[in-house]
Protein backbone atom coordinates (compact mmCIF):
# COMPACT_ATOMS: atom_id res chain seq x y z
CA UNK A 1 0.00 0.00 0.00
CA UNK A 2 1.29 3.48 -0.85
CA UNK A 3 1.03 5.50 2.35
CA UNK A 4 3.15 8.45 1.25
CA UNK A 5 0.10 10.72 1.57
CA UNK A 6 -0.38 9.91 5.28
CA UNK A 7 0.40 12.91 7.49
CA UNK A 8 1.72 12.66 11.04
CA UNK A 9 0.67 15.40 13.45
CA UNK A 10 2.01 16.35 16.89
CA UNK A 11 -0.76 18.77 17.85
CA UNK A 12 -3.01 17.21 20.52
CA UNK A 13 -5.73 19.77 19.83
CA UNK A 14 -6.16 18.16 16.39
CA UNK A 15 -7.41 14.91 17.89
CA UNK A 16 -11.05 14.19 17.19
CA UNK A 17 -12.11 12.20 20.26
CA UNK A 18 -14.99 10.44 18.49
CA UNK A 19 -12.64 9.25 15.75
CA UNK A 20 -10.11 8.18 18.39
CA UNK A 21 -12.80 6.13 20.16
CA UNK A 22 -13.69 4.45 16.87
CA UNK A 23 -10.02 3.73 16.11
CA UNK A 24 -9.55 2.16 19.55
CA UNK A 25 -12.80 0.26 19.04
CA UNK A 26 -11.53 -1.52 15.94
CA UNK A 27 -7.85 -1.96 16.79
CA UNK A 28 -7.04 -1.48 20.50
CA UNK A 29 -8.55 -4.22 22.67
CA UNK A 30 -7.28 -2.60 25.90
CA UNK A 31 -8.90 0.75 25.10
CA UNK A 32 -12.08 -0.15 23.24
CA UNK A 33 -14.44 1.05 26.00
CA UNK A 34 -12.75 4.34 26.87
CA UNK A 35 -15.03 7.36 27.06
CA UNK A 36 -14.23 10.66 25.34
CA UNK A 37 -14.02 12.56 28.67
CA UNK A 38 -11.39 10.08 29.87
CA UNK A 39 -9.45 10.26 26.61
CA UNK A 40 -9.40 14.05 26.85
CA UNK A 41 -7.71 13.78 30.26
CA UNK A 42 -5.16 11.25 29.01
CA UNK A 43 -4.29 13.47 26.03
CA UNK A 44 -4.09 16.57 28.21
CA UNK A 45 -1.46 14.86 30.41
CA UNK A 46 0.58 13.29 27.60
CA UNK A 47 3.43 14.79 25.58
CA UNK A 48 3.98 14.05 22.77
CA UNK A 49 0.64 12.99 21.31
CA UNK A 50 1.17 11.84 17.73
CA UNK A 51 -1.65 11.11 15.30
CA UNK A 52 -1.66 9.82 11.72
CA UNK A 53 -4.15 11.14 9.16
CA UNK A 54 -5.42 10.09 5.76
CA UNK A 55 -6.96 13.43 4.85
CA UNK A 56 -9.37 14.08 7.71
CA UNK A 57 -9.55 10.41 8.72
CA UNK A 58 -7.66 9.50 11.90
CA UNK A 59 -5.82 6.24 11.13
CA UNK A 60 -3.09 6.11 13.78
CA UNK A 61 -2.30 7.26 17.29
CA UNK A 62 0.42 7.05 19.92
CA UNK A 63 1.27 9.06 23.02
CA UNK A 64 3.99 9.24 25.66
CA UNK A 65 4.48 10.47 29.18
CA UNK A 66 7.97 11.76 29.88
CA UNK A 67 10.02 13.57 32.52
CA UNK A 68 12.23 14.84 29.69
CA UNK A 69 15.49 13.36 30.97
CA UNK A 70 15.29 10.06 32.92
CA UNK A 71 12.18 8.11 32.01
CA UNK A 72 9.39 8.04 29.46
CA UNK A 73 6.62 5.58 28.73
CA UNK A 74 4.83 5.06 25.43
CA UNK A 75 1.11 4.24 25.43
CA UNK A 76 -1.76 3.40 23.09
CA UNK A 77 0.12 2.73 19.86
CA UNK A 78 -2.40 1.87 17.18
CA UNK A 79 -2.71 1.82 13.39
CA UNK A 80 -6.11 1.19 11.79
CA UNK A 81 -6.26 -2.36 10.33
CA UNK A 82 -6.77 -0.95 6.80
CA UNK A 83 -3.33 0.68 7.04
CA UNK A 84 -1.29 -1.91 8.96
CA UNK A 85 1.80 -3.53 7.48
CA UNK A 86 2.89 -0.45 5.51
CA UNK A 87 5.50 0.91 7.89
CA UNK A 88 3.21 3.42 9.61
CA UNK A 89 3.41 1.83 13.07
CA UNK A 90 7.19 2.04 12.99
CA UNK A 91 6.99 5.64 11.76
CA UNK A 92 4.55 6.53 14.53
CA UNK A 93 6.77 5.08 17.29
CA UNK A 94 9.92 6.61 15.79
CA UNK A 95 8.17 10.00 15.71
CA UNK A 96 7.40 9.65 19.42
CA UNK A 97 11.01 8.62 20.12
CA UNK A 98 12.48 11.54 18.17
CA UNK A 99 10.24 14.16 19.79
CA UNK A 100 12.22 16.70 21.87
CA UNK A 101 10.35 15.66 25.02
CA UNK A 102 11.51 12.04 24.61
CA UNK A 103 14.70 11.93 22.52
CA UNK A 104 17.13 12.69 25.38
CA UNK A 105 15.48 10.37 27.88
CA UNK A 106 17.68 7.65 29.35
CA UNK A 107 15.08 4.87 29.26
CA UNK A 108 11.83 4.55 27.34
CA UNK A 109 9.40 1.91 28.60
CA UNK A 110 6.27 0.42 27.16
CA UNK A 111 3.92 -2.41 27.96
CA UNK A 112 2.68 -4.79 25.30
CA UNK A 113 0.70 -8.01 25.40
CA UNK A 114 1.24 -9.32 21.86
CA UNK A 115 3.52 -6.99 19.90
CA UNK A 116 7.02 -7.70 21.29
CA UNK A 117 8.35 -8.57 17.81
CA UNK A 118 7.14 -5.28 16.35
CA UNK A 119 8.87 -3.26 19.09
CA UNK A 120 12.06 -5.35 18.93
CA UNK A 121 12.42 -4.26 15.29
CA UNK A 122 12.46 -0.66 16.53
CA UNK A 123 15.10 -1.40 19.18
CA UNK A 124 13.13 -2.25 22.33
CA UNK A 125 14.16 -5.24 24.45
CA UNK A 126 12.09 -7.52 26.65
CA UNK A 127 12.64 -6.41 30.25
CA UNK A 128 10.71 -8.60 32.65
CA UNK A 129 12.76 -7.76 35.74
CA UNK A 130 11.51 -4.26 36.53
CA UNK A 131 7.78 -4.28 36.07
CA UNK A 132 5.21 -3.93 38.84
CA UNK A 133 1.71 -2.51 38.81
CA UNK A 134 -0.73 -1.08 41.35
CA UNK A 135 -4.35 -1.62 40.32
CA UNK A 136 -5.63 1.70 41.63
CA UNK A 137 -9.21 2.92 41.82
CA UNK A 138 -11.47 2.07 38.87
CA UNK A 139 -12.21 4.97 36.53
CA UNK A 140 -15.94 4.80 37.35
CA UNK A 141 -15.05 6.01 40.86
CA UNK A 142 -13.71 9.29 39.51
CA UNK A 143 -15.82 12.36 39.00
CA UNK A 144 -14.39 13.09 35.56
CA UNK A 145 -16.07 16.47 35.15
CA UNK A 146 -14.79 17.70 38.51
CA UNK A 147 -11.23 16.46 37.94
CA UNK A 148 -11.10 18.20 34.53
CA UNK A 149 -12.41 21.45 36.00
CA UNK A 150 -9.75 21.34 38.73
CA UNK A 151 -6.86 21.31 36.21
C1 LIG B 1 1.34 -3.09 16.25
C2 LIG B 1 1.01 -2.11 15.15
C3 LIG B 1 0.99 -0.68 15.73
C4 LIG B 1 2.08 -2.19 14.07
O5 LIG B 1 1.80 -1.22 13.09
P6 LIG B 1 2.07 -1.52 11.54
O7 LIG B 1 1.90 -0.27 10.81
O8 LIG B 1 1.23 -2.68 11.12
O9 LIG B 1 3.60 -1.99 11.59
P10 LIG B 1 4.74 -1.63 10.51
O11 LIG B 1 4.19 -1.88 9.14
O12 LIG B 1 5.28 -0.27 10.78
O13 LIG B 1 5.82 -2.71 10.88
C14 LIG B 1 7.18 -2.38 11.20
C15 LIG B 1 7.95 -3.68 11.24
O16 LIG B 1 7.42 -4.51 12.28
C17 LIG B 1 6.95 -5.74 11.73
N18 LIG B 1 5.73 -6.11 12.45
C19 LIG B 1 4.59 -5.42 12.53
N20 LIG B 1 3.70 -6.07 13.31
C21 LIG B 1 4.33 -7.19 13.70
C22 LIG B 1 3.96 -8.28 14.52
N23 LIG B 1 2.74 -8.35 15.08
N24 LIG B 1 4.85 -9.27 14.73
C25 LIG B 1 6.07 -9.22 14.15
N26 LIG B 1 6.49 -8.21 13.38
C27 LIG B 1 5.63 -7.21 13.16
C28 LIG B 1 6.71 -5.48 10.26
O29 LIG B 1 6.81 -6.65 9.49
C30 LIG B 1 7.82 -4.49 9.95
O31 LIG B 1 9.03 -5.18 9.79
P32 LIG B 1 10.16 -4.67 8.76
O33 LIG B 1 10.57 -3.29 9.23
O34 LIG B 1 11.23 -5.68 8.88
O35 LIG B 1 9.51 -4.62 7.42
C36 LIG B 1 -0.36 -2.41 14.47
O37 LIG B 1 -0.34 -3.73 14.01
C38 LIG B 1 -1.53 -2.25 15.40
O39 LIG B 1 -2.06 -1.14 15.54
N40 LIG B 1 -1.98 -3.34 16.04
C41 LIG B 1 -3.15 -3.31 16.91
C42 LIG B 1 -2.89 -2.49 18.14
C43 LIG B 1 -1.70 -2.97 18.92
O44 LIG B 1 -1.56 -4.15 19.21
N45 LIG B 1 -0.83 -1.99 19.27
C46 LIG B 1 0.33 -2.23 20.08
C47 LIG B 1 -0.05 -2.11 21.50
S48 LIG B 1 1.31 -2.22 22.61
Average pLDDT over residues 105-128: 96
Residue ranges of the alpha helices (H) in 47-143? 88-98, 116-122
Best mutation site among 115, 117, 120, 123 for ligand 1 pocket (most ligand atoms within 8 Å of CB): 115
By most ligand atoms within 8 Å of CB, the mutation choice from 50, 63, 89 for ligand 1 is: 89
| pTM recorded for the entire structure | 0.93
Q: Is residue 74 within 8 Å of residue 109, measured between CB atoms?
A: yes
Positive or negative: CA dihedral 29, 32, 33, 39: positive
Alpha carbon of 89 to ligand 1 centroid (Å): 6
What are the Cα distances from residue 54, in Å, to 9, 29, 58, 91, 115? 11, 22, 7, 14, 24
pLDDT at 29 over 60: yes
pLDDT tens string 61-112:
999 999 999 999 999 999 999 999 999 999 999 999 999 999 999 999 999 9
pLDDT tops 80 at residue 21: yes
Return the CATH number of the domain spanning residue range 7-149: 3.40.630.30
45 pLDDT more than 80: yes
Beta bridge partners of 61: 51, 78
Residues with CB under 6 A from ligand 1: 27-28, 77-79, 84-90, 112, 114-115, 117-118, 121
Question: What are 96-110's pLDDT values in tens digits?
Answer: 999 999 999 999 999
pLDDT of 137 reads: 83
Ligand 1 nearest-atom number relative to CA 80: 39
Q: Is 119 a catalytic site residue?
A: yes
Res 128: pLDDT: 87
Whole-number pLDDT of residue 138: 83
Examine the pLDDT at 140 and tell me if it is beyond 90.
Answer: no
Residues 18-42: what's their mean pLDDT?
97
Amino acid sequence: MDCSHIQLCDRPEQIDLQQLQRLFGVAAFWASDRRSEELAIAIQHSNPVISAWDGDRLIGFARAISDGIYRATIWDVVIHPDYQGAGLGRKLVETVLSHPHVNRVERVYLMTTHQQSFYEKIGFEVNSSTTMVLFNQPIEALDIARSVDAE
